[in-house]
């Protein structure tokens, strides 16, 4: 399972917000290829706001992706359950001009990996 922005456990979600504070980065239209205790793989799009001239007036752009949730760990607050602690996103077509991953700005990323807190994609 993964945890969403409202700290709700989800299995095979249709979408996953990466930036809970403003929802300017969302994995959407997810189609699950595989969901096991070890990893979960889906295709979909990364809907990313260009924030130009600012995020309130920005435009969302869709970038096709394959995403993998992985590194399953026990969820102490849900006995017997496990949750994914990592996400890797691979762009399969057009890529965003830049993406902030782990505090670093990556230009035209082909892929990125981040940790997931147990409270979702914050």
Compute CA distances 76 → 13, 79, 83, whole Å.
22, 6, 10
Do residues 10 and 3 lie in contact, with contact meaning Cβ atoms separated by under 8 Å? yes
Residue 66 lies in a domain: yes
Q: What is the pLDDT of residue 121?
A: 40
Write the pLDDT tens digit of every residue in 76-105. 877 788 899 999 999 999 999 988 877 788
Q: Choose among 42, 59, 39, 41: nearest CA to 50.
A: 59
Is residue 122 scored above 50 in pLDDT? no
Residue 121 lies in a domain: no
Q: How would you classify residue 30: left for phi > 0, otherwise alpha for psi between -120 and 50, otherwise beta?
A: beta
Residue 120 lies in a domain: no
Query: How many structural domains are present in the chain?
Result: 1
Write the pLDDT tens digit of every residue in 9-50. 899 999 999 998 899 999 999 999 999 999 999 999 999 999
CB atoms within 10 A of CB 111: 14
Q: What is the pLDDT of residue 80?
A: 82
Write the pLDDT tens digit of every residue in 39-55. 999 999 999 999 999 99
Write the pLDDT tens digit of every residue in 66-77. 999 999 999 887
Is residue 120 scored above 70 in pLDDT? no
Extract the tokens encoding 57. 């007036």
Q: Residue 65 forms beta bridges with which residues?
A: 44, 91
Residue 122 lies in a domain: no
Question: Structural domain of residue 42, as residue ranges?
Answer: 2-115
């Amino acid at each position: 399972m993964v945890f969403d922005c409202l700290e709700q456990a989800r299995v095979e979600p249709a979408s996953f917000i990466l930036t809970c504070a403003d929802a300017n980065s969302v994995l959407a239209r997810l189609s699950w290829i595989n969901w096991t205790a070890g990893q979960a793989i889906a295709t979909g799009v990364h809907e990313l706001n260009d924030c130009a001239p600012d995020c309130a007036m920005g435009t969302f752009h869709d970038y096709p992706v394959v995403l993998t949730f992985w590194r399953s760990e026990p969820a102490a607050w849900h006995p017997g359950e496990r949750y994914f602690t990592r996400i890797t996103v691979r762009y399969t077509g057009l890529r965003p001009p830049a993406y902030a991953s782990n505090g670093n700005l990556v230009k035209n990323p082909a892929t990125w990996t981040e940790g997931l807190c147990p409270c979702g994609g914050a």
